């Protein structure tokens, strides 16, 4: 807690369930004074069968309680392995004994942000597995995990959590910035430049920051690529660039009720997973498989742009959008976004010195440092709570 500079591992696996992103960073200070240096990064992909097993247990129609109980421990082991491997990768410089902290997101298998009344209580819920206690015991390193549940406990939806990190690392006194992450789900953080009474611009305060999930990121594209092309994703967006847009299918998909729901809002596989895809595939007639991929990729880009028009533009006119997550590698998707947002600049986070695939893992290293520093790290206008709170559970080795 008292160390000014710490070596921290960040572990992340998102709704794509493609694998564990592991990063080792040096973090100096905390809060807005945070300084970061990335030392090593790697994605450790899940095997095809483990990914299938995770996805089966992320769908209420196929999940089993005994599978989930075991997966919670099993994924803890996998996360611990990922931590050890990334530390080893950097070992020429740092041994395990020098690592101060691990921050882990876990694997979301259920996200239920809608408030419901149940047995006399009003609740929202979210579940990340890959228990942080297992990681702490296996690595011998203090581990912070279960960040989302802390926000849920104070009335929030537990997502998105990356806006705090976006604010401390990417705020600007020149540009109104959007930070867009395209994982399985896409989310955007808006950080406006504030204008002082003197008319001079200054950095936004955290209260001016807002964020929400725009809807699907790669989730629908990946799902249909698995079913129709037997591939985990559309590499570089090549399939999408071969097909044609089907306006009837696009129009039907855009009617989804999520897209008119007011922000802050968050979503997951419950809304855009197998059930949604099965509806799409049941609807289509005389469309080639390529056309389906083109149409769902365009749909993803449009829902992001449409979110800007509906929920952002009247509050903040963005100057630039900095994009991260695996979706950056889908060139069709990136080109569509550039076209819709023009003249707003759309650029990958690489242009400001970070790796697209590493950003969220770095975020969870930083969030763990915030927990240890006792700084609240939920953003009220992102998760919809009215209480700022310190996030996470601290697990001792």
Ligand X SMILES: Nc1ncnc2c1ncn2[C@@H]1O[C@H](COP(=O)(O)OP(=O)(O)O)[C@@H](O)[C@H]1O
Site residues for ligand X per CB under 6 A:
13-16, 18, 183-184, 218, 222, 233-237, 325-327, 329-330, 360
Interaction between residue 16 and Mg ion (CB under 5 A): yes
Instruction: Kindly write down the DSSP assignment for every residue of 278-326, as one continuous string.
Output: HHHHHH--S--HHHHHHHHHHHHHHHHHHHIIIIITTT---SEEEEESG
CB 125 within 8 A of CB 136: no
Burial of 45 per CB tally in 10 Å (0-12, 13-18, 19+): exposed
- Smallest gap from Cβ 6 to ligand X, in A, equals 24
- Smallest gap from Cβ 183 to ligand X, in A, equals 3
Stretch that binds Mg ion, among 14-22, 137-145, 149-157, 372-380 (CB under 5 A): 14-22
Residue 94 or residue 170: which is nearer to ligand X going by CB?
170
Residue 246 interaction partner, one of ligand X, Mg ion, none, beta carbon < 5-8 Å per kind: none
- Smallest gap from Cβ 99 to ligand X, in A, equals 23
**Binding characters for Mg ion, 80-119, by CB under 5 A (x = yes):** ----------------------------------------
Measured in whole angstroms, the distance separating CA 368 from the mean position of its chain's CA atoms is 16
Residue 336 interaction partner, one of Mg ion, ligand X, none, beta carbon < 5-8 Å per kind: none
* Bridge partners, residue 390, by sequence: none
| Number of neighbours of residue 317 by Cβ within 10 angstroms | 11
Measured in whole angstroms, the distance separating CA 294 from the mean position of its chain's CA atoms is 23
Q: How many residues bind Mg ion (CB under 5 A)?
A: 3
- Smallest gap from Cβ 293 to ligand X, in A, equals 11
Residue 110 or residue 375: which is nearer to ligand X going by CB?
110
Residue 243 interaction partner, one of ligand X, Mg ion, none, beta carbon < 5-8 Å per kind: none
Residue 54 or residue 74: which is nearer to Mg ion going by CB?
54
Residue 46 interaction partner, one of ligand X, Mg ion, none, beta carbon < 5-8 Å per kind: none
Residue 324 or residue 375: which is nearer to ligand X going by CB?
324
Residue 234 or residue 291: which is nearer to ligand X going by CB?
234
| Number of neighbours of residue 393 by Cβ within 10 angstroms | 15
Residue 18 or residue 146: which is nearer to ligand X going by CB?
18
Residue 113 or residue 376: which is nearer to ligand X going by CB?
113
- Smallest gap from Cβ 32 to ligand X, in A, equals 25
Residue 192 or residue 237: which is nearer to ligand X going by CB?
237
Q: Which of 6, 7, 10, 18 binds Mg ion (CB under 5 A)?
A: 18
Residue 325 interaction partner, one of ligand X, Mg ion, none, beta carbon < 5-8 Å per kind: ligand X
| Number of neighbours of residue 351 by Cβ within 10 angstroms | 11
Contacts of 336 (CB under 8 A, 6+ apart): 297, 298, 301, 302
User: For residue 249, what are its two tokens?
Assistant: 């299918």
* Element spanning 168, H or E: helix 162-170
Contacts of 206 (CB under 8 A, 6+ apart): 164, 167, 379
Cα 363 from Cα 11, distance rounded (Å): 9
Residue 58 or residue 330: which is nearer to ligand X going by CB?
330
Q: Which of 10, 14, 156, 268 binds Mg ion (CB under 5 A)?
A: 14
CB 143 within 8 A of CB 136: yes
- Smallest gap from Cβ 159 to ligand X, in A, equals 12
| Number of neighbours of residue 244 by Cβ within 10 angstroms | 11
User: For residue 157, what are its two tokens?
Assistant: 């939806």
* Dihedral angle sign, alpha carbons of residues 363, 365, 371, 372: negative
Stretch that binds Mg ion, among 10-18, 30-38, 369-377, 378-386 (CB under 5 A): 10-18
User: For residue 99, what are its two tokens?
Assistant: 């690592």
Contacts of 201 (CB under 8 A, 6+ apart): 173, 174, 193, 194, 195
Binding site for Mg ion (CB under 5 A): 14, 16, 18
């Amino acid at each position: 807690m008292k160390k000014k500079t710490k070596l921290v591992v960040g572990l992340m696996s998102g709704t794509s369930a493609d694998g564990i992103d592991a990063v080792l960073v040096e973090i100096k200070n905390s809060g807005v004074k945070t300084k970061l240096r990335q030392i090593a990064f790697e994605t450790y992909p899940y095997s095809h069968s483990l990914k299938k097993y995770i996805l089966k247990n992320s769908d209420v129609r196929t999940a089993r309680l005994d599978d989930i109980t075991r997966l919670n421990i099993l994924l803890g082991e996998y996360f611990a392995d990922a931590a050890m491997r990334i530390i080893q990768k950097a070992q020429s410089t740092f041994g395990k004994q020098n690592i101060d902290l691990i921050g882990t997101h876990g694997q979301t298998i259920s996200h239920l942000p809608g408030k419901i009344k149940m047995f006399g209580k009003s609740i929202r819920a979210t579940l990340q597995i890959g228990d942080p206690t297992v990681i702490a015991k296996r690595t011998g390193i203090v581990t912070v995990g279960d960040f989302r549940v802390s926000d849920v406990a104070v009335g929030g939806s537990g997502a998105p959590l990356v806006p705090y990190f976006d604010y401390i690392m990417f705020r600007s006194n020149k540009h109104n910035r959007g930070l867009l992450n395209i994982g399985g789900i896409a989310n955007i953080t808006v950080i406006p430049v504030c204008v002082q009474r003197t008319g001079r611009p200054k950095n936004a305060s955290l209260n001016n920051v807002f964020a929400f999930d725009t809807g699907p990121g790669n989730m629908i594209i990946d799902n249909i690529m698995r079913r129709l092309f037997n591939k985990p994703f559309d590499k570089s967006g090549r399939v999408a660039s071969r097909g044609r847009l089907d306006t009837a299918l696009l129009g039907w998909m855009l009617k989804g009720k999520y897209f008119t729901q007011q922000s802050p809002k968050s979503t997951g596989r419950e809304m855009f997973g197998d059930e949604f895809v099965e509806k799409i595939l049941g609807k289509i007639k005389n469309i080639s498989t390529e056309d389906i991929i083109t149409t769902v990729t365009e749909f993803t880009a449009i829902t992001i742009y449409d979110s800007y028009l509906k929920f952002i533009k009247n509050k903040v006119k963005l100057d630039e959008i900095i994009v991260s997550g695996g979706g950056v590698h889908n060139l069709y998707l990136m080109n569509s976004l550039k076209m819709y947002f023009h003249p707003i600049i759309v650029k990958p986070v690489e242009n400001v010195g970070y790796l697209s695939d590493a950003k969220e893992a770095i975020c969870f290293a930083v969030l763990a440092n915030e927990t240890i520093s006792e700084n609240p790290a939920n953003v009220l206008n992102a998760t919809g709570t009215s209480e700022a709170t310190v996030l996470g559970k601290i697990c001792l080795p």
